[in-house]
Structures are given as C-alpha cells and as structure tokens.
A and B are shown apart, each in its own frame.
Chain A
Amino acid sequence: MSRVSVKSLRKAFGPAEVLVGIDLEVDDAEILAVLGPSGCGKTTLLRIIAGFLDPDAGLVALDGATVADGHSSVPAWRRRVGYVPQEGALFPHLDVRGNILFGLPRRERTYERLAEMLRLAELPQRVASAYPRELSGGQQQRVALARALAPEPRVVLLDEPFSSLDAALRLSAGREVSSVLRSAGTTAVLVTHDQGEALSLADRVAVMDDGLIRQVDTPLQLYGAPVDQRIGRFVGDANLLTAKLEGDVARCALGPVALRAQPPSADGALVTLLVRPEQLRVTAAPECGQARVEEVVFYGPHALVRLALDDGTGLQARVKPADVPAVGDRVTVEVTGISGVFA
C-alpha cells in the first residue's frame, strides 16, 4: 500500500504548543504504534495526518506526495486515509451494510464487496443487516475497521481503538484488528496510551512526549534498550540502581553487573542502571540475605515482589509461582541482566 512521512510538524492551539517538531516515517504495510501519556499530542498528530486539522508548519506526505505543508492542505475527503476513532463511531442511522459500504462510490456498493469486507473483518454474514446498537463492542470495532478498509485507503489511522473495551475483550480485539490489518497488507498508525497494547500489536513503536517523538524502535528494542530513564519507566516496570563504573562491569548495591555495551561515562563515574523486575533473581536466604520481602502481589503466571534492601533501597522483582517468598522473609537478590545504563 503506502508510506507516510511526517517532517518537523508543528501545531499550537493558542499559546499551547502541542506538537513541537515531529519527525516520523511509517513504512509500507507496517503497523506503527504511537505511544504516549494522555495529552502528549498524539491525537493531534493523527488528526493532522487524517486532514481534520492543518499543521502550523512542517510537512505530511503520503507516498511521497505532500498533503499538508503548513500553507495548503489536501482536504480529508481526497486523502484516502482511513480513520477508526475511539469506540468505532459507527453511523447509528445506518446498518452494518450501510456503514461498511459508506465510503464506496454508488456502483461499487455491491453484495460481493460487502461479503468480502465481512470476511476480512471475520464477521458473520448475518450481521450485515444489524444496527450498531445491536453489536458487541468488539464487533463494532471490527465493523469500523472494515468500513475504513473498504475504500482501500493508503493508510489506516486508529485512535485509541480499544480504550472503551473491557480488559478481557481488549486483548482479543487488539489481536483480531492487527491480524485483519496484516492480512489486508495495510499501512497503519495506532495511537495508544497503553504500553501493553503498543508492544504487543505494533511492528514498531514511537514513544511521544511533550509534543516530540522520543524514540522509534521495535517493541523488543524499546523495552530492552530504552534511550533514557523516562522512556524506560514509561514502557514498563523498572528498578533504578545507582552503580559505579569499573572497567566492563558496574558495581551496585547488588554486586558487579556485566555491561553489554560501551558505558556512557568514564571509569569511576556514577551511573544509573535500569533493571526490569524479571531481571532480578530472588533466592531465599534466612541467614545471610541482603533484603527483606515487604509485599507480594500474586497474578497467577507470576508474582510481583516488593523488596527493601538493607540500605533502604526499594526494588520490584517478578518471580515464578514456585519461587514466591513470604512477606518478611530474608532473601538474596541477584541481577541477571540490565535494560539500560544512564549517566
């Protein structure tokens, strides 16, 4: 299908600068998630790409053709950009058939096209005559996706599409939507504030904060090697440990930790290590432990254990059900890997 490129995009509402120079490239047939806390400007970015808003400066190009440059802009109805808003926003006065075929020219609103779109969205044929209020939340979401895909857009934009669904449904709806997008081979931009959603559904994730893109990477890279502490904490639970650089190891309260890459500072400097809870190994040691178990939250497949080191540092560790300690136990803590070293 198509590529999206955004260069030095700026947008202000009155005195409030929402976007302060966004650069973003989305490749053909890629699903890119824009992840950021609410109010970071990600919906504004999406609305500018869709053509509902005009940027103050910068450039938006679809397939190399400029559609907005701060002076002129191609109107939304000529951009061929599909849009799936929160809660689907199906037309309540039209049935599923009317919704899905809405964007097609009259002569293309055929039964075959409808059946094809229903099949693509993994919806049963009988829902064609149902009205939006008769559908479940997940079904509405898939109809909205089918409606956006029917006119064969160059890119589909999804704005927090799962935020209104309950937790259980959100997981399955997310997987279904991403599989529909992949089988349609569509380029897609998904905006979300949910880390799990972004990491599990997208090919790449762009972390956005304060009107800027901070990092664009694959989910694995983003989680395992964030470019700064803030992003590291934002994309997942994190322990921050102060350490001293000594050659190819960093010495912290839990002992020496091997560095994987070139450290950011010279030998002897103090750095901060970012350690994910699952990178800590907790072992019961009634006699010689260095930490005390403060709290245990059991989730089933794993448990989160809150620990207090003897020097007062608080830590979080993720352990297997078989290894869950009791509150008050003495334990030793070992670092099995790190997700970042920051000066």
Chain B
Amino acid sequence: MLVPLGYVVWYTWSLGPVATWELLARPRVGELVRNTAALLVGVVALSTGLGVTCAWLVERTDLPLRRVWHVLFVAPLAIPAFVNSYAWVSITHAVQGYAGAVLIVSLSYSPLVYLPAVAAMRTLDPALEEVAHSLGDDRWTVFRRVVLRGIRPAVLGGALLVGLHLLAEFGALQMLRFPTLTTGIYDQYRSAFNSPAANVLASVLVLSCLLLLLGELWVRGDAALWRVGAGSARSVDRVKLGAMRAVALAGVAGLVTLSLGVPVSSLVHWLRVGSSTAFPVDELIAATATTAGLGIGAAALTAAMALPVVWLAVRHRGGLSNVIERATFTAHALPGIVVALALISVSVRSVRPLYQTLPLLLVAYAILFLPRAVVSVRSSLEHAQPVLEDVARSLGSRPAAVLARVTIPLIRNGLGAGAALVFLAVSTELTATLLMAPIGTATLATEFWSNSSSLAYGAAAPYALLMVLVSLPATWLLSRQTRGGVLT
C-alpha cells in the first residue's frame, strides 16, 4: 500500500534538493502547476455550485418531475469523463482549452457533489428548519443558516472528491488539450522512460493531493454538524417556486442537455457513422472479455484485502489498526499515474520479472481502489454488532465458523457492493492500464483511447458505449451508497 508513496518520497529525497529544485524551477513546470490550480478552482467551484443547486431544487422545492431529474442528475456518473470529452471534442474543437475543460469536467463531476448533498438534505431534520422559521427567519435565511450549514460537511466531502478526481484526471484533459500535472507526467514518461522529471512532477502531484485532503479536514472542523439521525419520515415543507418555476425548469433542462444530451447524441451519431464503415465484433468481444477478467480479478483481490483491514479497524480499534486503515486512504492522494509510475520503477529495479505483468497491474488496481472497498465493507461491518459474534462463540462456534456463519453473511451486501464498485472502476480505468498493461492486452478503455486519440471517432464509439453500459450499475450502486454519506 505504501510502496507508491514511499517510492515517490524516496526518489525525490535521493535526487537531492539541488537537482529537485532544478527540475522544478522550469517554466514548463510553473505552467503545469498554474494550469492545474486554475482548473482546480474553476471545476470545484462550478461543480459544487451545480451540485448544491440541483440538490436544493430536488429536495427542497416543488420543481415538477423531481424523481426524473434526480436520476438525470446522477446519470452523468455513468459516462467516464474522458468519454464525455471525446463526445464534445468530436463535435467541436472549440471546447479545447481552459473554459471548455472547466465546463466539461464540471458537468462530469457535479454528481460527486450532488449525491452527498442530496443525502445530507434528506437526513437533515426538517424540524430544524421549522424551528428556524418559528424564530423569524425567512426562507433564504433558513437555507443559508440551517440547510447550508447542515450539509456543509457532505458538500465539502463531495468537493474534495471532485478535487482529487481532477488531480488524477488524465484522459479528459489530454483530449481537451489542457495540460496539467498529470498529463505532464504522462508525456514525460512517454518521451523519456523513468525520467527524473516525471518523478519530481509526481511528487508535486502527491503533495497537492495531500494538501487538498488536509485542507478539507481543516475547513470541515468538527464533523458533528452533520448528524445522521434515524431519518425522519416527515416530508418537508417545500419552497413554492411560483413564477421562477419556468426558469428553474429551463435551467435544469439546459444542464441535462449539456451533461447528458450532448455526449449521448454524439455517441449515437458516431456509432451510426462508425458501424457503416467497420464494426469489429471480434475485437469488441475480446476487449470486453479482457476488461471483465481484469475487473473480476481486481475485485476479488481488493475485497480480500479490504476484509482484514476493516476487521482490524472496526473490531480492534487502536494505534496500529488506525494506521493501517489510514494508510489505505493515502491511495486517495495517489492518482493512477503516480501508482503506475512507482510500481513500474520499483518492479524494474527490484523485481524485474513482475514488470508489465498481470499480477502487477492487479496490484495497482487494488491500491487505487482499496478505499472504495474499505468504505463499503466498513459501513456494513459497523452495522454488524460484535455481540452477534459473542453469541455465536457461546453457542460453540470456533472463530473460523463464526466468520463463515455470522460475520461474512452479515457483511455480504457490503462486500458485494465493494467488489462491484472495484469491478466497475477497473473497467473504465485508463491511466494505469495504459502504462502497465502487459503488451497486447487491450481493454475497452485502452482500445477506445487509441482509436479516439488517432481521431478515429467512429471506431472509438462502440467501446465508449460498452463502457457506459458497464458503468450504469456502478452509478446505481453509488447513488444507493450515498445514504451513508460517504462516496469515493
């Protein structure tokens, strides 16, 4: 788990301050950092604004067809950001550059804020708002003083995810021709294998991720603000939009057109154009099979790794188990490109036979997606009372039997959801797969990538469609998981 982080730190350290500084103090690095920071501010602001506004419209107003809108607001999750970018770029090159990158990436990421915001508003006790009204606050003041404050930790968590996803984003930004640290690392790596420059950039990237994580912790302060209560069944008194209703409807319709309408219609268009020229059924099937195989392998490995981590963290709280659990979460601060780079370098130096092999790729997936599995296994294990295990032991079950007959059945759902999430994340993973897949291994994402980056938009479309289809169940699972308030 700590190999990638350790490697980055060790490498920068061994390079020495002078050499590191020389590598950092180049105009190109400055440009990449400025680009990344500007993009971060723009995307986090826009996707948070969109996410919170949509959540408020769905949960607190009398907007018509709220259930339909809810599904439509979550749906962009099913379209990987690099597929969305491809859809836009294949229509117009005008979206390449800063403004386009902010718009398109925000459209793709806003569900990451929307989902926790909706979940938090749902669990926020309406009685609080009623009390505020009775104390003389008008609707807008109540929203500001009660609702916004109440959902702040959830929204911050969502914004943090947007930030971390953005720092790790490679495919979309490469497609939108907006160079950031991540695309910079990739280009360096491709031009000069294992170059010091790539590794130094990687340490800057890791540092940015860690700063983001710490910043979120600091801003959030005490997390007790968001109490998830028993979930009040009472319905809230919704804001009557009145004349604003038409404006709101036009707004959400426009948003959905941009976030779903454009990519879907672009995909359909290229599918029709593409299928008239070539429809390589064999290659599609082969890529789908490879993707599914990798996904199943990674899901099994990751779920198996998550179980002991969660077990220690939940049942044996203490110094060491906390450290182990936190260590898995450093993966949040490790973009796919950094993990790939570190594992490649370490394997080339120390365990040569592993270089560009399936096991190493699976390890990279496990490192990247372990937090997802840990989160979903953890919440289910926390609901499984330890007393049930005590009872089973008093009824004569040995520890292994307790695990098989009580603990695993109790967390079956969490384990399954965790494995499914990993499977689905792996099936749309691009960066690490591009760098680490054994020669000749073609997944849906890498095939899509090689076609779309050689401007063969039509040939890329079927792969994109398959990826979207594969992502649909993940979207559904994620939208259910947000009830716990955690989304990764």
Contact = CB atoms under 8 A, between A and B. Distances in A.
Contact of B393 (A52, A89, A153, A157): A52
A51 B406 contact: no
A308 B402 CA distance: 61
A92 B390 CA distance: 15
Contact of B395 (A85, A92, A102, A157): A102
Interface string A134-169: 000000000000011001010001000000000000
A76 interface: yes
- Chain B CB count within 10 A is highest, among A47, A83, A157, for A83
A92 B398 contact: no
B341 to A, nearest CB: 44
Contact of A89 (B387, B398, B409, B412): B387
Among the interface residues A76, A80, A86, A153, which one has the most CB atoms of the partner chain B within 10 A?
Answer: A76
Contacts of A82: 394-395
B409 A93 contact: yes
A25 to B, nearest CB: 21
Interface string B393-404: 111111000000
A147 B388 CA distance: 12
A80 B393 contact: no
A298 interface: no
Interface residues of B, number: 17
B385 interface: yes
A47 B409 CA distance: 25
A148 B393 CA distance: 11
Interface string A45-87: 0010011100000000000000000000001111111110110
A91 B393 contact: no
Contacts of A148: 391, 394-395
Q: Is the interface of A mostly helix, strand, loop or mixed?
A: loop
B307 interface: no
B400 to A, nearest CB: 10
Contacts of B395: 77, 82-83, 102-103, 147-148, 151
A79 B397 CA distance: 11
Nearest to A147: B395
Interface majority SS (helix, strand, loop, mixed), chain B: helix
Given A50-B390, A52-B390, A77 B396 contact: yes
A76 B387 contact: no
A172 to B, nearest CB: 24
A77 B391 contact: no
Interface in B375-421: 385, 387-388, 390-398, 405-406, 409-410, 412
A85 B387 contact: yes
Nearest to B392: A102
A77 B395 CA distance: 6
B396 A89 contact: no
A102 B405 CA distance: 9
Contacts of B388: 89, 91
B393 A77 contact: yes
B410 A89 contact: no
A103 B396 contact: yes
B394 A50 contact: yes
A81 B391 contact: no
A76 B409 contact: no
Interface string A153-190: 10001000000000000000000000000000000000
Contacts of A76: 390, 393-394
Given A85-B390, A89-B387, A77 B406 contact: no
A208 to B, nearest CB: 21
A83 B390 CA distance: 8
Contacts of A89: 385, 387-388, 391
A86 B390 CA distance: 12
A51 B398 CA distance: 13
A258 to B, nearest CB: 51
Task: With a 10 A CB-CB cut-off, give which of B392, B394, B396, B410 has the most chain A CB atoms.
Answer: B394
Contacts of B396: 77-78, 80, 103, 151
A89 B406 CA distance: 12
B394 A81 contact: yes
Nearest to B383: A92
Contacts of A147: 391, 395
Interface string B160-201: 000000000000000000000000000000000000000000
Contacts of A83: 390-391, 394-395
Nearest to B410: A93
A318 to B, nearest CB: 39
B388 to A, nearest CB: 6
Nearest to A92: B410
A92 B407 CA distance: 11
B391 A75 contact: no
Contacts of B410: 91-93
Nearest to A82: B394
Contacts of B385: 89
A147 B405 CA distance: 15
Nearest to A85: B387
Nearest to B390: A52
Contacts of B398: 75, 77
A24 B405 CA distance: 34
A140 to B, nearest CB: 13
Contacts of B406: 91
A103 B412 CA distance: 21
Interface in B336-366: none
Interface string B425-450: 00000000000000000000000000
Interface string B208-239: 00000000000000000000000000000000
Q: Which of A82, A85, A86, A93 has the most CB of B within 10 A?
A: A93
Nearest to A159: B387
A79 to B, nearest CB: 8
Contacts of B397: 77, 102-103
- Interface-central residue, B385, B391, B396, B409, by most chain A CB under 10 Å: B391
A102 B401 CA distance: 11
26 contacts: A50-B390, A52-B393, A52-B394, A75-B393, A76-B393, A77-B394, A77-B395, A77-B397, A78-B396, A80-B396, A81-B394, A83-B394, A85-B390, A86-B387, A89-B387, A89-B388, A89-B391, A91-B406, A102-B397, A102-B405, A103-B396, A148-B391, A148-B395, A151-B395, A151-B396, A153-B394
Given A77-B396, A85-B387, A102-B395, 10 more contacts: A52-B393, A75-B393, A75-B398, A77-B397, A82-B394, A89-B387, A91-B406, A91-B410, A148-B394, A148-B395
Nearest 7 A/B pairs, CB to CB: A103-B395, A83-B394, A76-B393, A93-B409, A89-B387, A85-B387, A77-B393
